[in-house]
C-alpha cells in the first residue's frame, strides 16, 4: 500500500525473538466479581489464540464453545490477553494444572476472577505494543522526523496483511467462493472479511495517493467519531469540523462494502465507485452484497496513542504505542519502512 509520509526511511529486522513483539490487551471493563464465567488473564509466548483457547477448554473440562476471548493475538510474540470460561457450577479448576512451561513456548495464568457474561469479540479498549527493531539501517534524524510526523498526523488505517493470508491468498479464495466453491462456515467468514478489507484498502490507497486521506476536504465526506463506530454526514468541512479533525475527534471514512447505497456522496462516492468498478472488484462487490453484508464505514486514519521511541543501541530501535481494536501495528511500521520477519 502507498505510504502517506513518503519513501521508506528505515530497514530493520522484527521478531528476532518473540520478546521483540510484545502485545498487552487493554481491558474494556472490570470483572463483576460474580457470575458463571471465570475471567482469566494469561500470558503466552509462541502460541496463537486458538491454541490457548483449546488448552483452556481441556483444562476446565468444557467444550471450546464455552471459551470466550476479545481478540486474536500473534503467535510469534509475547502477549497478554483475557479469556472467559463458562462454569455454571461456579467451581474453578485447580490453577496449579493450568500453566504450560516450555522452550520456546509457554502459557501462564496471571490472575482470574468471576464475571457475569462470556467475553465477546471486540470487548477490549485496544492493545499496547512494545516492538524492538534490530539491525536498523537508516538515518536516525530521518527516522525520528518520520515518527514525529506519524504522531502528529497519524497513518492510513489500512487493514494489515494478516487479513489476507500468506501471499494474499484469501482474496483469491474469496473470489472462488463467490464463483460457487463451497467452503466451511468459519472459512466463509474469514474470506468475506478478507474481500471486504481488500476493497477498503484499495479505496484508502487512492485517497493516500491523492493526499486527502486525512483532511476531510473532499465533497461528500462521511465522518466517524473517534473511539466509536458512530458516523454522520455526508457533511461538508467547515471551521467547526476542521477543528474537530485537527483534534482527532472525528475522521473521514471509507466503505466497508455491502448491500445498500453508499452513505458518501459527491466526489467521495464517485471515487469509491470508480476504485471498485474494474478488474475483479465488481465480483468482490457483488459477492459481499449477496452474502448479506450491509454498507458500513471505517475511519481512513489512525493515530498511534502515546507513541514513544528509544535507541538502546545504534542499530536497535524500540517503539511503544497503543492502538484501538481492529487496527494493526504492522500498518504503523509500514509508514517507517521495510522489515524482515513481519
124-133 per-position pLDDT tens digit: 999 999 999 9
Mean pLDDT across the chain: 94
Same domain, 144 and 263: no
On whether residue 253 sits in a domain, the answer given is yes
In this structure, the answer to whether residues 315 and 266 fall within a common structural domain is no
Q: What is the pLDDT of residues 83-134, one digit of tens each?
A: 999 999 888 899 988 999 987 899 999 999 999 999 999 899 999 999 999 9
Q: Give the mean pLDDT of 48-62.
A: 94
Q: What pLDDT is stored for residue 6 in this prediction?
A: 96
Find residue 335's DSSP bridge partners. none
Q: How far apart are CA 327 and CA 338, in angstroms?
A: 19
214 and 240 together in one domain? yes
Same domain, 86 and 48: yes
2 domain residue, yes or no: no
Regarding whether 108 and 136 lie in a shared domain, the answer is no
pLDDT digits (tens, 9 = 90+) for 316-341: 999 999 999 999 999 999 999 999 87
Give domain status of residue 327, yes or no.
yes
Number of independent structural domains in the chain: 3
pLDDT band at 342 (very low <50, low <70, confident <90, very high): low
Task: Please give the average per-residue pLDDT across 134-150, as a whole number.
Answer: 97
**Shared domain check, 168 and 256:** yes
The verdict on whether 338 is a catalytic residue reads: no
State which residues form the domain around 334.
10-17+131-151+304-340
Give percent of the chain above pLDDT 70.
Answer: 99
> Please, are residues 69 and 51 in contact by the beta-carbon 8 Å criterion?
no
- The verdict on 43 and 118 lying in the same domain is yes
Same domain, 142 and 171: no
The DSSP line for 313-339 is ETTEEEEEEEE-TT--HHHHHHTTEEE
Same domain? 102 vs 172:
no
- 199 in the same domain as 111: no
Same-domain status, 310 and 291: no
Residue 22 in any domain: the answer is no
CA distance 275 to 201: 10
Question: 226 lies in a domain?
Answer: yes
Between β-strands 301-302 and 296-299, what pairing exists: parallel, antiparallel or unpaired?
unpaired
Residue 1 falls inside a structural domain: no
Model pTM score: 0.92
SS3 258: coil
CA gap 90, 178 in Å, rounded? 45
pLDDT in tens, 256-304: 999 999 999 999 999 999 999 999 999 999 999 999 999 999 999 999 9
Asked if 127 and 25 count as a contact pair (C-beta separation under 8 A), the reply is: yes
- From the list 20, 74, 212, 214, the catalytic residue is 74
* CA proximity to 161, closest of 14, 315, 5: 14
Domain-located, residue 229: yes
Q: Which residues contact 39 (CB under 8 A, 6 or more apart)?
A: 31, 82, 83, 84, 112, 113, 114, 115, 119
Q: Would you say residue 238 lies in a domain?
A: yes
Q: Region 64-91: what's the mean pLDDT?
A: 93
Specify the CATH number for the domain of residue 203: 3.30.2340.10
Same domain? 118 vs 215: no
Amino acid at each position: 500500500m502507498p505510504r502517506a509520509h513518503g519513501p521508506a526511511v528505515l530497514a530493520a529486522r522484527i521478531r528476532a525473538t518473540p520478546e521483540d513483539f510484545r502485545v498487552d490487551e487493554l481491558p474494556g471493563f472490570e470483572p463483576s466479581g460474580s457470575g458463571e464465567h471465570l475471567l482469566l488473564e494469561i500470558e503466552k509466548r509462541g502460541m496463537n489464540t486458538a491454541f490457548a483457547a483449546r488448552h483452556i477448554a481441556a483444562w476446565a473440562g468444557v467444550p471450546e464453545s464455552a471459551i470466550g476471548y476479545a481478540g486474536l493475538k500473534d503467535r510469534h510474540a509475547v502477549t497478554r490477553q483475557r479469556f472467559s470460561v463458562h462454569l455454571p457450577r461456579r467451581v474453578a479448576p485447580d490453577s496449579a494444572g493450568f500453566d504450560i512451561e516450555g522452550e520456546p513456548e509457554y502459557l501462564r495464568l496471571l490472575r482470574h476472577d468471576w464475571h457475569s457474561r462470556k467475553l465477546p469479540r471486540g470487548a477490549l479498549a485496544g492493545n499496547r505494543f512494545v516492538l524492538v527493531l534490530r539491525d536498523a539501517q537508516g538515518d536516525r534524524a530521518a527516522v525520528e522526523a518520520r515518527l514525529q510526523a506519524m504522531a502528529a498526523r497519524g497513518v492510513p488505517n489500512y487493514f494489515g496483511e494478516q487479513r489476507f493470508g500468506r501471499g494474499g491468498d484469501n482474496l483469491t479464495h474469496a473470489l472462488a467462493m463467490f464463483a460457487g466453491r463451497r467452503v466451511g462456515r468459519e472459512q466463509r467468514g474469514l474470506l468475506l472479511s478478507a474481500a471486504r478489507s481488500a476493497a477498503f484498502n484499495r479505496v484508502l490507497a487512492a485517497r493516500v495517493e491523492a493526499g486527502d486521506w486525512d483532511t476531510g476536504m473532499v465533497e461528500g465526506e462521511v465522518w466517524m467519531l473517534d473511539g466509536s463506530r458512530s458516523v454522520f454526514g455526508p457533511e461538508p468541512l467547515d471551521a467547526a469540523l476542521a477543528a474537530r479533525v485537527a483534534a482527532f475527534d472525528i475522521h473521514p471514512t471509507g466503505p466497508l462494502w455491502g448491500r445498500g447505497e453508499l452513505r458518501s456522496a459527491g466526489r467521495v462516492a464517485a471515487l469509491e465507485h470508480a476504485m471498485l468498478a474494474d478488474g475483479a472488484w465488481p465480483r468482490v462487490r457483488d459477492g459481499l452484497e449477496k452474502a448479506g453484508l450491509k454498507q458500513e464505514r471505517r475511519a481512513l486514519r489512525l493515530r498511534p496513542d502515546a507513541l514513544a521511541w528509544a535507541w538502546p543501541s545504534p542499530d536497535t530501535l524500540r517503539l511503544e504505542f497503543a492502538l484501538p481494536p481492529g487496527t494493526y501495528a504492522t500498518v504503523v511500521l509500514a509508514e517507517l519502512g521495510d522489515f524482515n520477519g513481519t
